[in-house]
Amino acid sequence: MHRPSYLRYPYPISPVAVLLLALVLLALGIGLRDPWPADEPRFVLIAQEMIQTGQFWIPHRAGELYPDKPPIYMWATALSLALTQSVRLGFLLPSLLAALGTLWLVTDLVKRLYGRRVATLAACALLSTVLFSLQAKTAQIDMLLTFFTTLGAYGFMRHALLGPARRWWLAGWAAVGLGILTKGVGILPLLLLPIWAVLARRGKVRKLEWRDVWQGLAVLLGVLALWGVPMIVVTTLSGDPALAAYRDNILFKQTGERYVSAWHHVKPWWYYLVEVLPWAWMPLVLAFPWAGPAWVRRLRRGDARTWLPLGGALLIVVFFSLSPGKRGVYILPSIPLLVMALAPLLPGLLARPAVQGLGAIVLVGFGVLFLAAGALGWAQLPALARLAERYDVQPWLWWIVLGVAAGALVAGLRPRRGILALALWLAAFWAAWSTFGYVQLNDPRSPQRFMQRVVSVTGPDAILAMPFFDEEFVLQAQQPIVHFGFHTPDRAQLSRAYQWLQEQPSQRWMLVEQKRRQQLDCVDLGQAVDMGHQNSEHWWLIPAPAVAGCPGSRDSAPLFLAPTTTGRSHALPEGG
């Protein structure tokens, strides 16, 4: 079979060169944008609050306890912000470093199992995978979680496949503990152990000794205890019901209850198979028609190098599919394992004209889609014009360029190099997204300038109430912000806000979405200042005298003062 020249050994690039390329591609754009919703502003806000208040052990969000996640990711973000002294430079660093660490772990293990040539292809495959690159450029918790789950799997497989490697075995258990302290599903590497046990009984891998298991569990519990024991002691002995509620929430509701009986992001069992994996695992999924039979042959002969990573990836999909609560990003930890399982097949797969042709077809599809959307948007097609107006963007030129680039790559490299063309186009996409996309989307998605306009109306010494607050507005606030509890019912928040505004009518304002007009039936909206459109909503800035006729109650909701980022300290006036 004819092998394209770029598949012949030795390769012009090495695994180290791919890691350097990944550093450039994934770091591109850092400093060009602010944190964007939904999750990024929340974690940056918590990290900033840790730095400002010195309360690192138990996270707070705008003055209120935050029990949804353990603190590891917030600590990493706080360290990045402290080192860079800049939100824009620091908030993406944890995801970037976690992605590079994950890429190194996959490359190193594949090199040890199959050699440098296959490791180079595996590194390129992981870097090209859509969800991996997306999350490497997103300040969410899941990329750091994926680093820890990959480190756990790496340690287990070093011991099982290349051992004895007891240090890596124990390091894997420590990584599981750190993963749990990042997010409760950090237990995912443990899904490899039943597969390992079955393979060991068949003599395919090193035997799993009970002594090793107990030592691993001891390491895991020791890591968890480093944060968990002091947290439990402090919250239990404090006598504070809020801290006791935090303890119970983080230990039980956000772990077992969230998995078994999720209360949001509820999706059907087939959600990942139908709606997520086709794009999240792209372009890896293009190889499945040919990789599937090869995997079956390897599994039948008991190849542990395939059983462990492939079984782990599939069990992760099953694990999250069984929970009613699902988000596309949850599946991210499966990708490094999938690449490890696919790695030995890559040279043969890339030599197949059918695989290359399928890559070219997919790229042509992307090109047609982007070119058509960009041209129709430029021509002011009503549906696209409404989309642009809603998000305050004009991405048409960017889309047209990407469409033309797709056609140029297919024409220049020919369908026999379709996978290479697709990988290069994806790199071009992320480069454009991280530059042009960041610059164009930052104002619509970050309320920094909006909050500057707010403070220009109220004055810097005024205090602003934000019922139903979104973290991105508090993060960008230029003045003191009060809120009334993230989960407090709407009516209770408004009642407390009315009472609070009426206490100091000359110094207090309220920022609220115009879509809540019906809930503001007692407010004199004639006094409201229309602040325009921001983050897909229209806003009113309401002075305290406008709520003079509204019934309020101090007891209807708690009141929290968010630490400000302006460098000035603020306290609520007497009676606030």
488 and 375 fall within a common domain:
no
Say if residue 257 is in the same domain as residue 384. no
Please state the three-class secondary structure of 464-486 as a single string: EECCCCCHHHHHCCCCCEEECCC
Give the residue from 320, 347, 374 where a domain finishes: 347
- Asked whether residue 283 is domain-assigned, the answer is no
Domain boundary among the residues 445, 464, 496 is at: 445
Same domain for 207 and 141? yes
Give the HSE-up count for residue 478: Cα atoms under 13 Å, Cβ half-sphere. 14
| Residue-range definition of the domain harbouring residue 439 | 353-445
Q: Are residues 312 and 398 in the same domain?
A: no
Q: How remote is the C-alpha of 128 from its chain's centroid?
A: 17
DSSP string, 169-196: HHHHHHHHHHHHHH-GGGGGGGGHHHHH
331 and 361, same domain (yes or no): no
User: Is 279 inside a domain boundary?
Assistant: no
CA pair distance 294, 290, nearest whole angstrom: 7
Residue 333: asked if its preceding bond is cis (omega within 30°), the reply is no
Contact of 350 with 412, CB cutoff 8 Å: no
Burial class (CB in 10 A: 0-12, 13-18, 19+), 138: middle
Q: Is the dihedral of CA 514, 437, 93, 95 positive or negative?
A: positive
Q: Considering its fold, how many domains does the chain have in total?
A: 3
Cβ pair 159, 215 in contact under 8 A: no
Q: Which of 445, 471, 501 is the last residue of a domain?
A: 445
- Of how many residues is the chain composed? 576
Same domain, 39 and 164: yes
Count how many Cα atoms sit within 13 Å of the Cα of residue 483 in the half-sphere of its side chain: 25
Residue 229 and residue 330 in one domain:
yes
- 400 belongs to a structural domain: yes
573 located within any domain: no
Question: What pLDDT is attached to residue 381?
Answer: 86
Q: Quick check: is 567 in a domain?
A: no
CA–CA separation, 534 and 463 (whole Å): 20
Q: Cα–Cα distance between 526 and 196 in angstroms, integer?
A: 69
Amino acid identity for residue 461 in this structure? D
Count other C-beta atoms under 10 Å from residue 201's C-beta. 11
The reply to whether 473 and 404 lie within a common domain is: no
pLDDT tens, per residue, the chain with 576 residues: 444 444 444 445 788 899 999 999 999 999 999 999 989 999 999 999 999 999 999 999 999 999 989 999 999 999 999 999 999 999 999 999 999 999 999 999 999 999 999 999 999 999 999 999 999 999 999 999 999 999 999 999 999 999 899 999 999 999 999 999 999 899 999 999 999 999 999 988 888 888 999 999 999 999 999 999 999 999 999 888 999 989 988 888 766 666 666 656 788 999 999 999 999 999 999 999 999 999 999 999 999 999 999 999 999 999 999 988 889 999 999 999 999 999 999 999 999 999 999 999 999 999 999 999 999 989 888 888 887 877 778 889 889 999 999 999 999 999 999 999 999 999 999 999 999 999 999 999 999 999 999 999 999 899 999 999 999 999 999 999 999 999 899 999 999 999 999 999 999 999 999 999 999 999 999 999 999 989 889 999 999 999 998 999 999 999 999 986 544 434 444 344
Cα 41 from Cα 374, distance rounded (Å): 30
Residues 467 and 402 in one domain: no
Residue 431 counted as domain residue: yes
Are 513 and 431 part of one and the same domain? Answer: no
Q: What's the N-to-C CA distance of the chain in angstroms? A: 79
Task: Report DSSP letters for 500-537, one per residue.
Answer: HHHHSTTTEEEEEEGGGGGGGTTS-GGG-EEEEEETTE
Residues 213 and 127 placed together within one structural domain of the fold: yes
Q: Any idea which residue has 């139903």 for tokens?
A: 468
Q: Give a yes or no: residue 419 inside a domain.
A: yes
3-state SS assignment for residue 121: helix
The answer to whether residues 434 and 458 belong to one domain is: no
**Residue 576 included in any domain:** no
